[in-house]
Amino acid sequence: MAFTCQLLALAVPAWSAVTVPVGRSAFEFVWSGKTIPVWTYRPASATAVDTPLVFVCHGTNRNASFYRDSWISQADVRGCIIVAPEFTDAAFPGTNGYNLGGMLGPDGLARPPAEWAFHVIEAIFDEVRAGLGSDARPTYRLYGHSAGSQFVHRMLLFAPEARVEKAVAANAGWYTVPELPTAFPFGLGGSQYSLPLLRERLAQEHVILLGTADNDPASTDLSHSAGAEAQGPHRLARGQYFHAHATAAAPGLGTTFNWQLSYAPGVGHDTSRMTPYASALLFSAEPYFPPDAEIEEPDSPVLTLESAGYRASFNHAFTSSAAPASLAWEDAVTVPGWFLHQNALGTPIAVTVQTSLSDTDSGFLGFLSGTDLPNNFLLGVRPSDTTAGSVGTGAGIYFGLRLRNQTGFTITQFSLGYTAGQFYRSTGANNNTIVVAYNHQRLSQSTSLTTGTWTTIPALSYTAPLNGNGQSSGTTVNFNLPGNSTVFEPVTIGGLGLAPGNDLWIRWYVANMSGVDQGVGIDNVTFAVTGYAPAAPVILGQPQSRTAGVGETVMLAVEAVGVPSPTYQWMKDGAVLPGETGASLTLSNLIFTAAGSYTVAVTNPSGTVLSQPAALAVRRPFEWWAENAGLAGNAAAADADPDADGRTNLVEYALGGDPVRAEGGAATFLEPGAEGLIFRFYRAADSAADTEVEVQVSADLLEWATWRVLADDEVGEQSIVIPVGPEGRRFVRLRVTRAGAP
C-alpha cells in the first residue's frame, strides 16, 4: 500500500466567493463532481473581516446541521463563524470514505492524494474566506467528534500543509498513531508521508479531547477490529493510548509531540456536551455553558458492564431551592451513593443550599453556586473552630462516595478526576487542603469514612489558592473564575482486586485548621473502570433465529464480554466459516443453501464458550421451489399434482413435501386425544411467508368453517386440538393459498 503526501501542495483554482449570512444558513459546494451540503452559522456580532472561522466535522451519522446547531451558543460567545460540511455516505462511503479521509477506496486500495477528502475543507475555506475579503484570516480552527475526530487527526498527520491554526479532535473511536512499525491505517507503516512537514505538524499545539465517561466498551459504532482493540477497550482508553504512543514515537521522527491531552469531566460520547470544552480550547478561554444547559442527575453509584463509570456535578434538585435553605442530610439519599462525616459530630449534618455565594456560613456543608453560573453547584465546606457547632481544630469533614461493583468481573484498575474550588476567603492565615484517598479492601457494607485502610492519591491533592493574609474581613470567592478552581484530570489507580458485589470507597477530606478556615469544595467528580482481572467470556445476548427470503440480507449477532476482550469464530452446522471472526455475521444475497444452524465460539485466554444455535430459514418463492424440483410447464402449476399423490404442488410446497415422489409427500394426521381430535402436520419455514395455511372444520363435509389461520411464524411441527361437536363427528382439512390471494 503506497500513499503520497502532496495534498494541498497541489495547484488549486481561484474559488468564487461565498458570503455567509447572519444566522443559520446553508449552501451547496461541488468538489470533484460531488455535491456537499455546507451548514453555517454567523452571529450578528461577527462583522469583522478577520472573524475567526471554525470548521466542525460531524460523526458517523453524517448530521452536519445538528453539529452546526450544537455550536451556536459558543459562536455567539466567541464571535466566530461556524462552517459544517456534510460528508454524505453516498459521496464519501463508509469508514474509508470519511473517517480515513478517502485515503482508501471502497475496495481497500490506496487512492491518489488528489482524491483525498481532506481537500474539501481547504476548498470550502477558500470560498468562505474570499467572501470575507482580502484581509480575512489566513487560517481556520478545526473541530471533529467521533468519526469527525478520526478525520481531523488524520488530516493533521497526512495533510500537514492544511491551514489549520488549531484543532481539537474529540472522542475518536480509534487512531492512526504516528509510529512506523505499525501498519496503516493504525500507524504510518506502508504509507508515504512528508517527514519535514509531519515533524512541523506534530510539534504544533493541537488537542486530543476525551470525555471521561466515554468509557463503554459496548458503545454504539465502536470498532472492535484487532487494530482498534489493541489501542484499548473504549474511546477514553484509546485516546490515552494515542497520546502516549505518539509522545514516545515523536523523538524517533526527529521532533516532539506537543498535542495536548485534555478531558471533559463527566462527559460521555456526546458532542453537545463536549462542545463547551472544545470551544474553550480552540479560543484559549474558560468553558462557557449556556444558561439553559441540561441539569443532569448524578449517575447511579452501581457499576455495571453497561455503565462502568460514574459522574456527579451536584447540580440536580438544588437549582430551584431558595437561598439559603436548610436540608437534613441523609446518607446515600440526598445524593445517591454519597456519605458525609464530620469529626466529633458525625451525621446528620445540616446542609445549606445557596443560589449565590452571599451569606456563606461556616461549620456546615453547603451546595454553593456562583452568581455567574447559577446552575453550577459545588459541594463545599468552610470548617471553623470559632463557630458554634463546628468541628474542632485538627478534625475535619469527609465527603465519601461508595461505588458498588456489579459488573460481574473483578475490577483491577480505575481512573478518577474532579474539580476542586475555593468559594470563600477568610482572614485565617492557612490555605485549606483537600486530600483524596480510596479503600477497596473492606468487604462489609460499613459506611464509616474514618476506619479501615485508606490509600492517599497524592496527584489529586488540592490546596486553596487564597488565604487571609492582608485580609481585614472575609469575602466570597467565585469558584467559576479562572484561578479559583483546579481541574484534576483523571489519574489511573491500579493494584485493586475488587470482587463482584464489593464496594470501592473514595473520600475527600477537608481538615479543620487552627483559626478561621477558607471555604473549599468539590465538583465534576468522574470515575471510570479501566481494568478487569482476566476472566473467561460470558455471553450476554445469544444470536437469534431468523427467517429471510432468497436474495435478502440477514445479520446474526452475539453480545459477549470477557477479560481480555474475546475473539469470535462463527460456524454453520458445526463447520467453521473462514474469515467470519466478528461479533456479528452478515449473510448477503441469500441462497437456499444458506439455511442451517449457526453458532459462534467466543474465546479469550481464559476459555471458550459456545453460543446457543440460531436457526436460519431461507424462504423459497413457489416458482423458485418448483423450478428447483425439476417441474416445468403445466406440471409446475400450483394446482398440479405431478406425483399423483392427491396433494397439489402448493400443498407440497407449504408442508415441506416432494412434488415428484409420492412417498415423499406432505403428511397430515388426525387422531383422538383427551380433549378432542388432534390434527398434526408439518409446516415448512421456507414457504411460510409465501403461503396462507388455514385449518377448516365441518360436521357434514358440506359446510366448512375456519378453525384457525396460522401466522407466518408458526412453522415446524403443528399440533392443533379440535373438540368434537355434539353431533359426535368432526371432519378436518387444510386450505392452502398463495399469500395475498383471495
The 3-state secondary structure of 567-635, one letter per residue: EEEEEECCEECCCCCCCEEEECCCCHHHCEEEEEEEEECCEEEECCCEEEEEECCHHHHHHHCCCCHHH
Q: Is the pLDDT of residue 295 over 60?
A: no
Phi, psi of 664 (to 5 degrees): -100, 20
Run of H or E residues at 708: strand 705-709
Distances (CA, A) of 706 to 347, 589, 702: 73, 38, 13
Q: Which of 88-92, 142-146, 365-369, 375-379 has the lowest mean pLDDT?
A: 365-369
In 431-574, the DSSP E strands lie at 433-439, 455-456, 462-463, 475-476, 485-493, 503-511, 519-532, 535-541, 546-549, 554-557, 559-563, 567-572
pLDDT over 70 at 258, yes or no? yes
- pLDDT score of 103: 92
What's the rounded mean pLDDT across residues 554-571?
Answer: 91
Among the residues of 231-299, which ranges form H helices?
235-249, 271-282
Mean pLDDT calculated for residue range 247-275? 90
Task: Return the percentage of the chain with pLDDT > 90, whole number.
Answer: 49
Distance spanning both ends of the chain, measured CA to CA:
60
With pLDDT > 70 as the criterion, what percentage of the chain qualifies? 85
Q: What local confidence, expressed as pLDDT, does residue 267 receive?
A: 83
Q: Quick one: pLDDT band at residue 364, thresholds 50, 70, 90?
A: low
Cell of 543: 444470536
- Quote the CA–CA distance of 687 and 90 in Å, as a whole number: 36
pLDDT at 316: 58
Backbone angles phi, psi at 100, to 5 degrees: -90, 10
Which has the minimum average pLDDT: 64-73, 293-302, 445-454?
293-302
Q: What average pLDDT does this structure show over 458-467?
A: 94
104: Cβ–Cβ under 8 A, 6 or more apart, which residues?
Answer: 96, 110, 111, 185
Whether the predicted pLDDT of 5 surpasses 50: no
Cα diameter, the chain: 112
- Inform me whether the pLDDT recorded for 415 exceeds 60: yes
Q: Are 121 and 85 in contact (CB under 8 A)?
A: yes
Examine the pLDDT at 128 and tell me if it is beyond 90: yes
- Other residues' Cβ atoms within 10 Å of the Cβ of residue 452: 13
Once rounded to an integer, what is the mean pLDDT over residues 281-296?
70
Average pLDDT over residues 256-275: 89
Pick the more confident residue, 148 or 189: 148
Provide mean pLDDT across the span 251-264.
92
pLDDT beyond 90 at 144:
yes
Strands 546-549 and 614-619: what pairing? parallel
Radius of gyration for the alpha carbons in the chain, expressed in angstroms and rounded:
34
Tell me whether residue 593 is exposed, middle or buried, using C-beta atoms within 10 angstroms of its C-beta: 0 to 12, 13 to 18, 19 or more.
exposed
Give the CATH class of 31-282. alpha beta
Architecture (CATH level 2) of domain 302-532: Sandwich (2.60)
Please state, in angstroms and as integers, the Cα–Cα distance from residue 163 to each residue in 46, 79, 155, 298, following that order. 21, 20, 11, 41
Whether 535-619 and 622-738 share one fold: the answer is: yes
**Residue 380: left (phi > 0), alpha (psi -120 to 50), or beta?**
beta
Using CA atoms, how far apart are residues 469 and 112, in angstroms rounded to an integer?
Answer: 66
Residue 162 grid coordinates: 492544511
Dist CA 191 CA 3 (whole Å): 5
Q: 9 or 474: which carries more pLDDT confidence?
A: 474
Instruction: Give me the pLDDT at residue 358, please.
Output: 45
Confidence band (pLDDT; 50, 70, 90) for 547?
confident
* Averaged pLDDT, 15-32: 85
Element (H, E) at 76: helix 72-78
pLDDT higher than threshold 60 for residue 372: no
Contact 156, 164 (CB under 8 A): yes
pLDDT digits (tens, 9 = 90+) for 723-735: 887 777 889 999 9
pLDDT at residue 691, as a whole number: 92
Residue bearing cell 461508595: 402
Cβ–Cβ under 8 Å, residues 513 and 430: yes
Cα separation, 354 vs 374, in Å, equals 10
Q: Is 197 a residue whose pLDDT tops 90? A: no
Q: Is the pLDDT of residue 388 over 60?
A: no
593-634 residue pLDDT tens: 898 999 999 999 999 999 999 999 887 789 888 988 899 999
Higher pLDDT, 367 or 642: 642
In the chain, domain spans: 31-282, 302-532, 535-619, 622-738
Tell me the C-alpha distance between 285 and 478, whole Å: 17
Look at residues 167, 160, 159 and name the one whose alpha carbon lies nearest to residue 119.
159
- Residue-wise burial string across 482-515, b where 16 or more C-beta atoms lie within 10 A, e elsewhere: eebbbbbbbeebeebebeeebbbbbbbbbbbbeb
Q: What is the pLDDT of residue 125?
A: 96
Name the 3-class secondary structure at 460.
helix
CA dihedral of 288, 291, 293, 299, whole degrees rounded to 10: 90
Q: What's the rounded mean pLDDT across residues 4-28?
A: 60
pLDDT band at 340 (very low <50, low <70, confident <90, very high): confident
Q: Which residues contact 153 (CB under 8 A, 6 or more apart)?
A: 144, 167, 169, 172, 175, 176, 208, 242
Task: Give the mean model confidence (pLDDT) for residues 36-47.
Answer: 93
Helix (H) or strand (E) holding 403: strand 396-405
The fold for domain 535-619 equals Immunoglobulin-like (2.60.40)
Taking all residues of the chain, what is their mean pLDDT, rounded to a whole number?
Answer: 84
Determine contact, residues 314/211, Cβ cutoff 8 Å.
Answer: no
| Whole-number pLDDT of residue 396 | 78
- Would you say 601 and 671 are in contact if contact means Cβ atoms under 8 Å apart? no
pLDDT at 411: 95
> Parallel, antiparallel, or unpaired for β 53-57 and 81-85?
parallel
Does pLDDT of 552 surpass 50?
yes
3-state secondary structure of 27: strand
Amino acid at 267: V
The amino acid that residue 603 corresponds to is T
What mean pLDDT comes out for the span 386-414?
Answer: 76
Contacts of 639-648 with CB under 8 Å at 24 or more apart are 648/736
pLDDT for position 323 = 42
Architecture in CATH for domain 622-738: Sandwich (2.60)
CB atoms closer than 10 angstroms to residue 263: 24
Are the beta carbons of 39 and 60 closer than 8 angstroms? no
Distance from C-alpha of 338 to C-alpha of 496, rounded to nearest angstrom: 21
Q: Please give the Cα distance from 281 to 278 (Å, whole number).
A: 5
